[in-house]
């Protein structure tokens, strides 16, 4: 009799737990669907506005249902021809070179800082932490980069200033120190492996999720950067302009043309569709990110959950 009662109680608990789990899953699924729609709607609105006519924007404003569709904004940018393509190539080159070189520098440094037998570990850690707390300022960094390192009017001026990040180094160092057991490294040392082979054959494969996560954030940082171009490139080197800086300059030019058109009522002037072109610029900038993000989603998920408590 007692055995039957225990069986019935167990079945009741399982039924209640199953029902509770189904309700929870349904609520969470609905919640995440709503959040996904909220995140996706602004991107969809930007694309719709980029193909909306100027008359529709003046009448309805930003609307998901414009009265007229047009590609005038995209045609306006295509008129620049090779200028946009050249700037796009520059952005790809700067992003790829900065990401790869940054990882090649930060991974060995993080590995060295993770080893307790490294005598200079604490002084270097303090040296790296100081810029996180006290910045030298824009003027001093500009003077050092241009007057001492002569980083001006070349690709290196756009790559080297953002090459290493103390925050990324600390993330890599903490992963190397906590997630890779010392016994594994000691076994490799007994087999005759040096530190370089340990880094390449053990650390990098094991830490691939966090390395790829750092690579993604570093890549997005370079891709969306335009301010270094304003500092280190002059108007005589337009062939070095990245895409973001070209789009910023075009946006300023459109704003100036629209402003000047107000004072030229008796003259024929061409005023580009300002709002539409701005949205086209946003689409051009975020489109590569949207295309590449699904390929790195697995690494981002694994890298961002590093150190999570497992049940």
pLDDT digits (tens, 9 = 90+) for 110-149: 998 888 888 888 888 888 888 777 777 788 888 888 888 8
Average pLDDT across the chain, whole number: 79
Would you state the pLDDT for residue 2?
47
| Confidence at residue 10, expressed as pLDDT on a 0 to 100 scale | 53
Query: What pLDDT score does 3 carry?
Result: 46
Q: How does pLDDT run across 9-67, given as a tens digit for each residue?
A: 555 445 545 555 777 888 888 898 898 888 888 888 888 888 888 778 777 777 888 88
Does residue 307 come out as left (phi exceeding 0), alpha (psi in the -120 to 50 range) or beta?
A: left
Question: Looking at domain 81-304, what is its CATH homologous superfamily?
Answer: MetI-like (1.10.3720.10)
Query: What are the distances in angstroms from CA 222 to CA 89, 90, 94, 164, 200?
Result: 13, 11, 7, 12, 25
Looking at residue 90, its pLDDT comes to: 92
Give percent above pLDDT 90 in the chain.
10
Best-predicted range by mean pLDDT (71-75, 171-175, 268-272): 171-175
- Please write the tens of the pLDDT for every residue from 192-224: 888 888 888 888 888 888 888 899 889 988 998
Per-domain residue ranges of the chain: 2-50, 81-304
pLDDT of residue 262: 55
Residue 183 has pLDDT above 70, yes or no: yes
């Amino acid at each position: 009799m007692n055995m039957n009662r225990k069986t019935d109680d167990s079945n009741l608990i399982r039924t209640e737990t199953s029902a509770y789990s189904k309700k929870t899953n349904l609520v969470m699924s609905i919640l995440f669907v709503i959040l996904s729609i909220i995140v996706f709607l602004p991107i969809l609105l930007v694309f719709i506005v980029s193909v909306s006519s100027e008359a529709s924007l003046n009448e309805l404003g930003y609307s998901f249902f414009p009265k007229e569709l047009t590609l005038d904004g995209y045609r306006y940018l295509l008129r620049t021809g090779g200028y946009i393509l050249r700037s796009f190539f520059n952005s790809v080159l700067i992003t790829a070179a900065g990401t790869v070189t940054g990882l090649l520098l930060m991974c060995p440094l993080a590995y060295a800082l993770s080893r307790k037998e490294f005598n200079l570990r604490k002084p270097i850690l303090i040296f790296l932490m100081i810029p996180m707390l006290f910045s030298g300022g824009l003027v001093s960094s500009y003077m050092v980069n241009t007057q001492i390192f002569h980083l001006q009017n070349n690709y290196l001026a756009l790559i080297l200033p953002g090459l290493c990040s103390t925050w990324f180094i600390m993330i890599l160092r903490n992963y190397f120190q906590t997630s890779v057991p010392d016994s594994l490294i000691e076994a490799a040392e007994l087999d005759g492996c040096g530190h370089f082979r340990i880094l390449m054959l053990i650390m990098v494969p094991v830490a691939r999720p966090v390395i790829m996560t750092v690579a993604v954030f570093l890549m997005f940082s370079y891709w969306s950067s335009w301010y270094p171009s304003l500092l280190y490139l002059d108007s005589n080197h337009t062939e070095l302009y990245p895409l973001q800086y070209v789009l910023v300059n075009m946006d300023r030019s459109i704003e100036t043309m629209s402003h000047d058109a107000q004072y030229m009522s008796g003259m024929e002037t061409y005023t580009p569709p300002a709002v539409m072109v701005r949205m086209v610029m946003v689409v051009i900038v975020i489109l590569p990110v949207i295309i590449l993000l699904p390929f790195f989603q697995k690494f981002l998920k694994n890298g961002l959950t590093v150190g999570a408590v497992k049940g």
